[in-house]
Amino acid sequence: MNCGMLATVEDGVVTKLVGDPEHPFNLGAQCPRGASALDHLNHPNRINYPLKQVGKRGAGQFKRVSWKEALDDIAARLAVLKEEYGAETIATTGGTNRTDDFARRRFFNLIGSPNVVHTAPVCWIPNFLTESASYGWAAFDPEIAGARCVVVWGHNPGSSYLPEMRGLLQAKANGTKIIVIDPIYSETASKAELWLPIKPGSDNALALAWLNVIINEGLFDYKFVAEWTVGFDELSDRVQEYTPEWAAEKTGISPELIAESARIYAMSKPACIQWGVATDQLGKGSTASAQARVALRIICGNLDVPGGDVMPGPHPTFVTDWEMELNEMLPEVQRNKQLGSEKFKLNSWPGYKLLTENMLRVWGKSIPAEWFCEANPSRVFRAMATGKPYPVKACIVLANNPLVSYANSKLVYKALKNLDLLVVMEYWMTPSAMLADYVLPVASWLERPVMTTTYGVSDWLIASERAIEPLYERKTDFDFWKELGYRMGQVEYWPWETDEDMFKYRLDPIDLGVDSYEEFVQYYRMHFADREYRKYQTRGGATLSGKIELKISLFEQLGYDPLPHYVERPFSPETKPEIAEQYPMTLVAGGGFMPFFHSEHKEITRIRLLRPYPRVTINPALAEKFKIEEGEWIWIETPTGKVKQTAFISPAVAPDVIQAERGWWFPEKEVTEPSLMGVFDSNINVCVDDDPDTCDELCGSFCSRGIMCRISKVEEDA
Ligand X SMILES: Nc1nc2c(c(=O)[nH]1)N[C@H]1C(S)=C(S)[C@@H](COP(=O)(O)OP(=O)(O)OC[C@H]3O[C@@H](n4cnc5c(=O)[nH]c(N)nc54)[C@H](O)[C@@H]3O)O[C@H]1N2
Nearer to ligand X, 211 or 362 (CB): 211
Work out how close the CB of 303 gets to Mo ion at its nearest, in angstroms, rounded to a whole number.
Answer: 24
279 makes contact with Mo ion (CB under 5 A)? no
- Could you give phi then psi for residue 433, rounded to 5 degrees? -65, -30
DSSP, res 609: T
* Measured CA distances, 80 to 104, 167, 239, 443 (Å): 20, 53, 56, 29
8 Å CB contact between 137 and 372: no
Work out how close the CB of 489 gets to ligand X at its nearest, in angstroms, rounded to a whole number.
Answer: 24
8 Å CB contact between 270 and 305: yes
Nearer to Mo ion, 214 or 412 (CB): 412
String of DSSP letters for 668-692: TS--STTTTTTTTTS-GGGS----G
Work out how close the CB of 618 gets to ligand X at its nearest, in angstroms, rounded to a whole number.
Answer: 14
8 Å CB contact between 652 and 185: yes
Q: Which one of Mo ion, ligand X, none interacts with residue 429, CB within 5 to 8 A by kind?
A: none
The CA distance from 8 to 19, in Å, is 12
Work out how close the CB of 673 gets to Mo ion at its nearest, in angstroms, rounded to a whole number.
Answer: 29
The b-or-e profile of 534-566 (16+ CB within 10 A means b, else e) is bbbeeebbbbbebbbbbbbbbbeebebbbbbbb
Q: How many residues bind Mo ion (CB under 5 A)?
A: 2
Nearer to Mo ion, 119 or 640 (CB): 119
8 Å CB contact between 457 and 311: no
The CA distance from 179 to 150, in Å, is 6
Work out how close the CB of 704 gets to ligand X at its nearest, in angstroms, rounded to a whole number.
Answer: 4
Nearer to ligand X, 354 or 429 (CB): 429
Nearer to Mo ion, 261 or 376 (CB): 376
Q: What residue number has its CB nearest to Mo ion?
A: 123
By CB under 5 A, the residues from 636 to 665 that bind Mo ion are: none
Q: Which one of Mo ion, ligand X, none interacts with residue 181, CB within 5 to 8 A by kind?
A: ligand X
Q: What is the contact surface with ligand X in residues (CB under 6 A)?
A: 95-96, 98-99, 119, 122-123, 153-156, 159-161, 181-184, 186, 198, 200-201, 203, 276-278, 281, 398-401, 404-405, 425-428, 430, 442, 477, 588-594, 596-600, 662-663, 684-685, 688, 704-706
Nearer to ligand X, 101 or 143 (CB): 101
Q: Which residues pair with 425 in a beta bridge?
A: 398, 440
Cβ neighbours, 10 Å, residue 630: 12
Work out how close the CB of 95 gets to Mo ion at its nearest, in angstroms, rounded to a whole number.
Answer: 8
Q: Which one of ligand X, Mo ion, none interacts with residue 401, CB within 5 to 8 A by kind?
A: ligand X
By CB under 5 A, the residues from 97 to 136 that bind Mo ion are: 123
The b-or-e profile of 396-406 (16+ CB within 10 A means b, else e) is bbbbbbbbbbb
Amino acid code (one letter) for 711: I
96 makes contact with Mo ion (CB under 5 A)? yes
Cα within 13 Å of Cα(212), Cβ side: 23
Work out how close the CB of 52 gets to Mo ion at its nearest, in angstroms, rounded to a whole number.
Answer: 31
* Cis before 595? omega within 30: yes
Q: Which one of ligand X, Mo ion, none interacts with residue 663, CB within 5 to 8 A by kind?
A: ligand X
Amino acid code (one letter) for 118: H
Nearer to ligand X, 183 or 678 (CB): 183
Q: Which one of ligand X, Mo ion, none interacts with residue 363, CB within 5 to 8 A by kind?
A: none
Work out how close the CB of 670 gets to ligand X at its nearest, in angstroms, rounded to a whole number.
Answer: 19
**Which residues touch 138 (CB under 8 Å, ≥6 apart)?**
127, 128, 131, 132, 311, 457
Work out how close the CB of 230 gets to ligand X at its nearest, in angstroms, rounded to a whole number.
Answer: 29
Nearer to ligand X, 334 or 572 (CB): 572
**Which residues touch 383 (CB under 8 Å, ≥6 apart)?**
339, 389, 390, 391, 392
Q: Which one of ligand X, Mo ion, none interacts with residue 442, CB within 5 to 8 A by kind?
A: ligand X
Q: Which of 190, 198, 199 is nearest to 168 (CA)?
A: 190
The CA distance from 367 to 313, in Å, is 9
Q: Which of 566, 589, 556 is nearest to 289 (CA)?
A: 566
Work out how close the CB of 11 gets to ligand X at its nearest, in angstroms, rounded to a whole number.
Answer: 26
**Which residues touch 495 (CB under 8 Å, ≥6 apart)?**
none
Q: Which one of Mo ion, ligand X, none interacts with residue 684, CB within 5 to 8 A by kind?
A: ligand X
Work out how close the CB of 370 gets to Mo ion at its nearest, in angstroms, rounded to a whole number.
Answer: 14
404 makes contact with Mo ion (CB under 5 A)? no
Q: Which one of Mo ion, ligand X, none interacts with residue 708, CB within 5 to 8 A by kind?
A: none
The CA distance from 71 to 82, in Å, is 16
Nearer to ligand X, 184 or 259 (CB): 184
Question: 14 in helix, strand or coil?
Answer: strand
Q: Which one of ligand X, Mo ion, none interacts with residue 427, CB within 5 to 8 A by kind?
A: ligand X
Q: Which one of Mo ion, ligand X, none interacts with residue 688, CB within 5 to 8 A by kind?
A: ligand X
Work out how close the CB of 443 gets to ligand X at its nearest, in angstroms, rounded to a whole number.
Answer: 8
First to last CA, the chain: 37
The CA distance from 485 to 494, in Å, is 8
Q: What residue number has its CB nearest to ligand X?
A: 95
Nearer to ligand X, 562 or 641 (CB): 641
Nearer to ligand X, 500 or 549 (CB): 500
Work out how close the CB of 201 gets to ligand X at its nearest, in angstroms, rounded to a whole number.
Answer: 5
Nearer to Mo ion, 123 or 259 (CB): 123
Q: Which one of Mo ion, ligand X, none interacts with residue 398, CB within 5 to 8 A by kind?
A: ligand X
Q: Which one of Mo ion, ligand X, none interacts with residue 204, CB within 5 to 8 A by kind?
A: none
Nearer to ligand X, 337 or 615 (CB): 615
Q: Which residues bind Mo ion (CB under 5 A)?
A: 96, 123
